[in-house]
Chains A and B, each alone.
Chain A
Amino acid sequence: MFTKPTMEPVPARTKDQLRFITCGSVDDGKSTLIGRLLHDSKMIYRDQIMALERDSIKYGSTGDNIDFALLVDGLEAEREQGITIDVAYRFFTTPRRSFMVADTPGHEQYTRNMATGASQAQLAIILIDARKGVMVQTRRHSFICALLGIRHIVLAVNKIDLVAYDKECFDRIARDYMAFAAGLGFTSIVAIPISARYGDNVVDRSACANWYRGPCLLEYLESIDIQSGTASQAFRFPVQWVNRPNPDFRGYAGTVASGRISAGDEIIVATSGRTTRVKRIVTHGGDLVGAEAGDAVTITLEDEIDIGRGDILSRPDDQPKVADLFAAYVIWMDEEPLAPGRNYILRIGSQTISGSITDIRHRIDVNTCEHLAAGMVSLNEIAFCNVATTMPAVFDAYDVNRKTGSFIFIDRYTNRTAGAGMIAFPLRQTANIARQALSVDRRERAALKNQKPCVIWFTGLSGAGKSAIANLVDQKLFARSRHTMLLDGDNLRHGLSADLGFSEADRVENIRRVGEVAKLMADSGLIVICSFISPTRAERDRVRILVGKEEFIEVFVDTPIEECARRDPKGLYSKAKSGNIKNFTGIDACYEAPETPDIHLRTMEQTLEHSAKAVLDVLIARSLLDG
């Protein structure tokens, strides 16, 4: 088939390296396990063992035995000195495979550290103390592993010696874990009863747990098939560097992220849609016939087309996404919280693009996997967000391709790596993408109705008068033979959003649905009038981006809370004050007034009629309505 790659993927090095992460706290025996693996696979040199024997007598907690934890620790001492250690990498090799272990201290910084280690790993060993069983932290670790795209789990039920090698106990823990992890999308989960301290089932088979028929830990790590099949995936070649040593040679250097390519194959540049063919695959050791995932090569093309660092080459029939708005899971790593609207530098593959979060859809509690509403994302928190970029970005979904679906946030001012992201799906794809073209477009639909579609969005406290004004605007437009639709809580909550309650998360989701429905209606040519409290700027901004700011009119119905509470048309304020309604905007949930609304209506100063007329005047001024 292909000539053996002779570039950076070194035959010896990649002979088959398994990269794994160990998850668990110190008490679970994580360090002891790593030390045991290194020791029993003979990766610890004599001088290191002698030092270890000395240290074990001095600091050890295992009596006369060697304390393997001391081999890898050091992390703890450093922590006391206030040094931030995120991940330590250790290496060992057996005749069958080489291993890289990411070891993360499992304390306050766990999410950030674990994510960093897990981003490199193909497999995770999740440690459980046999005496304690599946705990909150087990769930947390499993969730983070799943989020970071790890598909293989070893459940190491440690300290099995301390439960007298009890089979029942082991079976129960394994069963509990399988039940919990069923929804996390792991490809394989294997439970092994071990004792890191005494070495049972780590490298050598346990004599005490003779009921266990499965493989020892190391044996399993050596044999598991982690070929994630990147070579059989869609071809992706992110261009790292344009190689132009002289006017006669122009090559594009990079590492094949996934798939394979051969000389003569047709390729496309995702951002421009230009196509050509691969002329040569150049390496120092001579031209190759083909290259596949992991090969670092320089590609030359038949035609001279404009390609730079950051572009991705793919096959025309299986292209990456190109979008300037996408949804992504974000893990925050900076002391300064992630604020929606703030501009960051995003590094997506070899692309460097400006971008910001337009909306935090929800935050995820890593212990319970619950969705929570959030106005910002703090250090070690995970959220599902919408990300907008100033230029179209090229990517795949992270669960399809880890290399082209991941990105980092860089703080513009401090240059710190502030967060990491995993792209879920594109929200607004840009031009050159072959999208299902609709045979009748939105302009034509609007032209048929002889009007210009838009979304008029009323926001304000409960009882501010939104619905009254919105109704009057609707009537006035109808009187002018405009095609309109009024969306408010009543007609959505009873149908489309009947499954939602009033928690923060559900309210955010409700507004998201309203936004999507409003957009569809505007696309069909309608003038859409929406009346929702929509208390956060972020959720309103999200709708504005979705609809397009030319066609979005934000109307702030500004009525002081005292007046709203006095009017209390639905009797909600009195219920909220007596504690019968939770999360009531203005009482125990905050309302973020628009900073620069398109229309600001002060209901204490103007009549209903005046307010409605003011809205129509703005529509006329913006040429959305004939005067």
Chain B
Amino acid sequence: MRDVVAEFKRPVMLYSIGKDSSVLLHLAIKAFYPAKIPFPLLHVDTTWKFREMISFRDATASRLGLDLIVHVNKDGSARGINPIKSGSALHTQVMKTDALKQALDLHGFDAAFGGARRDEERSRAKERILSFRSAGHVWDPRNQRPELWSLFNTRVREGETMRVFAMSNWTELEVWEYIMIEKIPVVPLYFAKRRPIVHRNGAMIMVDDERLPLNCDETPEMRMIRFRTLGCYPLSGAIESDATTIEDIVAEMQTATVSERQGRLIDTDEAASMEKKKREGYF
């Protein structure tokens, strides 16, 4: 992180409010202490995040005195793009991918920290720690730089940018163990609680607000659930769980039999979907 701050003109941290972002933020605070974090945080808001995520974000920003930029793709919202009517693919493209590119261009950021990890998904296993994006934010898998030792090539030309995955070599379990040891605050949605849900496409979707249209045969039921990953609420599948503390979560992780990405509906749209999204500029 300090290398990136020393070598780039205008870095930013992409803050998604999830557990990985919480850890990344914590690492940044530690890396630059006693100075403040020398870059802003950027949250790309699709306007469909869980309400608890937004309140957690705002509370965190004010508690830590962060320079937080919230970006919404105004054009997308004006056109009424949403995850329910437009489908998850278009929604993700417009409100996340396009929005992210807009925000990076708008502020002229040349390096963006993200919390993605190599263990998340097969196509991430070969991702670089410093992932090079040519002008227009294009990720060309053929044009990535070999990374030896901890020596990073931070050279970019005007218009080119770098995504920096500082937590590439962490695993999900390690993230939780670290949260436990360092007592890092995370969104309450990670802890089990009775919440209203409906079943859709084999996943449990939480009814977070009145925008989720219910089919006539659907009635929200209260279940003891929590989330392993967080995103737009209509696209995030919950799991049944009794884990109400971080210790419970770590214990649950150690015996987990299903991967964390199973709860993410955006992955199942089409085969190799992550790979495709990345080429288009998704984180």
Q: Is the CB of A408 within 8 A of B126?
A: no
A85 to B146, CA, bound (A): 10
A296 to B182, CA, bound (A): 16
Q: Is the CB of B146 within 8 A of A88?
A: no
Q: Which residues of chain B have C-beta atoms less than 8 A from A89's C-beta?
A: 118, 125-126, 168-169
Q: Which residues of chain B have C-beta atoms less than 8 A from A350's C-beta?
A: 3, 6
Q: Contacts A89-B118, A89-B169, A241-B5 hold; do A12 and B33 have CB atoms under 8 A apart?
A: no
A86 to B147, CA, bound (A): 9
Q: Is there a chain B Cβ closer than 8 Å to A137's Cβ? A: no
Of the candidates B34, B35, B181, the one whose C-beta lies within 8 Å of that of A10 is B181
For A298, the closest partner residue in chain B by CB is B33
Q: Is there a chain A Cβ closer than 8 Å to B36's Cβ? A: yes
Q: Which residues of chain B have C-beta atoms less than 8 A from A78's C-beta?
A: 141
Q: Is there a chain B Cβ closer than 8 Å to A480's Cβ? A: no
Q: Contacts A10-B178, A407-B151 hold; do A91 and B2 have CB atoms under 8 A apart?
A: no
In the complex, which residues 84-132 of chain B have their Cβ closer than 8 Å to any Cβ of chain A?
Answer: 118-119, 122-123, 125-126
A497 to B152, CA, bound (A): 42
Q: Is there a chain B Cβ closer than 8 Å to A243's Cβ? A: yes
Q: Which residues of chain B have C-beta atoms less than 8 A from A285's C-beta?
A: 30
A12 to B246, CA, bound (A): 14
In the complex, which residues 117-176 of chain B have their Cβ closer than 8 Å to any Cβ of chain A?
Answer: 118-119, 122-123, 125-126, 141-142, 144-153, 155-157, 168-171, 173-174
Q: Contacts A89-B126, A98-B171 hold; do A116 and B147 have CB atoms under 8 A apart?
A: yes
How many whole Å from B82's CB to the nearest CB in chain A?
28
Q: Is there a chain B Cβ closer than 8 Å to A74's Cβ? A: yes
Q: Mark A368-392, 1 if CB is under 8 A from B, else 0.
A: 0000000000000000000000000
Q: Contacts A47-B259, A116-B148, A415-B156 hold; do A240 and B3 have CB atoms under 8 A apart?
A: yes
Q: Is the CB of B126 within 8 A of A87?
A: yes
How many whole Å from A473's CB to the nearest CB in chain B?
48
Q: Is the CB of B171 within 8 A of A240?
A: no
Number of B interface residues at 8 Å Cβ cutoff, please give it: 50
Q: Is the CB of A284 within 8 A of B30?
A: yes
A233 to B187, CA, bound (A): 43
A10 to B155, CA, bound (A): 29
Q: Is the CB of B126 within 8 A of A86?
A: yes
Of the candidates A74, A243, A410, the one whose C-beta lies within 8 Å of that of B35 is A243
Q: How large is the interface on A (under 10, 10 to 19, 20 to 34, 35 or more residues)?
A: 35 or more
Q: Is there a chain B Cβ closer than 8 Å to A45's Cβ? A: yes
For A19, the closest partner residue in chain B by CB is B169
A240 to B25, CA, bound (A): 19
A75 to B168, CA, bound (A): 19
Of the candidates B142, B151, B170, B262, the one whose C-beta lies within 8 Å of that of A347 is B151
Q: Which residues of chain A have C-beta atoms less than 8 A from B181's C-beta?
A: 10-12
A309 to B2, CA, bound (A): 10
Q: Mark A281-324, 1 if CB is under 8 A from B, else 0.
A: 01111000000000010100000000001000000000000000
Q: Which residues of chain B have C-beta atoms less than 8 A from A11's C-beta?
A: 181
Q: Is there a chain B Cβ closer than 8 Å to A84's Cβ? A: yes
Q: Contacts A89-B169, A282-B34, A407-B151 hold; do A112 and B3 have CB atoms under 8 A apart?
A: no
A93 to B254, CA, bound (A): 10
Q: Is there a chain B Cβ closer than 8 Å to A361's Cβ? A: no
Q: Is the CB of A84 within 8 A of B142?
A: yes
In the complex, which residues 41-97 of chain A have their Cβ closer than 8 Å to any Cβ of chain B?
Answer: 45-48, 74-75, 78, 82-91, 93
Q: Is there a chain A Cβ closer than 8 Å to B203's Cβ? A: no
Q: Is there a chain A Cβ closer than 8 Å to B242's Cβ? A: no
In the complex, which residues 198-247 of chain A have their Cβ closer than 8 Å to any Cβ of chain B?
Answer: 240-241, 243-245
For B172, the closest partner residue in chain A by CB is A91
Q: Is the CB of A403 within 8 A of B149?
A: yes
Q: Is there a chain A Cβ closer than 8 Å to B256's Cβ? A: yes
Q: Is the CB of A254 within 8 A of B157?
A: no
Q: Is the CB of A408 within 8 A of B142?
A: no
For A90, the closest partner residue in chain B by CB is B125
A340 to B78, CA, bound (A): 58
Q: Contacts A12-B177, A45-B259, A415-B156 hold; do A243 and B34 have CB atoms under 8 A apart?
A: yes
Q: Contacts A74-B122, A119-B148, A245-B35 hold; do A415 and B155 have CB atoms under 8 A apart?
A: yes
Q: Mark A5-25, 1 if CB is under 8 A from B, else 0.
A: 001101111000000000000
For A345, the closest partner residue in chain B by CB is B155
Q: Which residues of chain A have C-beta atoms less than 8 A from B157's C-beta?
A: 415
Q: Which residues of chain A have C-beta atoms less than 8 A from B168's C-beta?
A: 89
Q: Is there a chain B Cβ closer than 8 Å to A416's Cβ? A: yes
Q: Which residues of chain A have C-beta atoms less than 8 A from B180's C-beta?
A: 12
Q: Which residues of chain B have C-beta atoms less than 8 A from A115's C-beta?
A: 148
Q: Is the CB of B34 within 8 A of A309?
A: no
Given contacts A241-B2, A296-B31, A309-B6, 5 further A-B contacts (CB under 8 A): A8-B31, A48-B259, A243-B32, A245-B36, A406-B149
A-B contact pairs, 28 of them (CB 8 A): A8-B27, A8-B30, A8-B31, A10-B177, A11-B181, A12-B174, A12-B181, A13-B170, A45-B258, A47-B258, A47-B262, A78-B141, A82-B142, A84-B142, A87-B126, A90-B119, A112-B146, A116-B148, A120-B148, A241-B3, A245-B35, A253-B2, A254-B2, A282-B33, A284-B30, A285-B30, A347-B152, A415-B156
The 6 residue pairs across chains A and B that have the minimum distance between CB atoms: A12-B177, A245-B35, A119-B148, A241-B2, A284-B33, A45-B259
A interface residue numbers (CB < 8 A to B): 7-8, 10-13, 45-48, 74-75, 78, 82-91, 93, 98, 100, 112, 115-116, 119-120, 240-241, 243-245, 249, 251, 253-254, 282-285, 296, 298, 309, 333, 345, 347, 349-350, 402-403, 406-408, 410, 415-417, 420
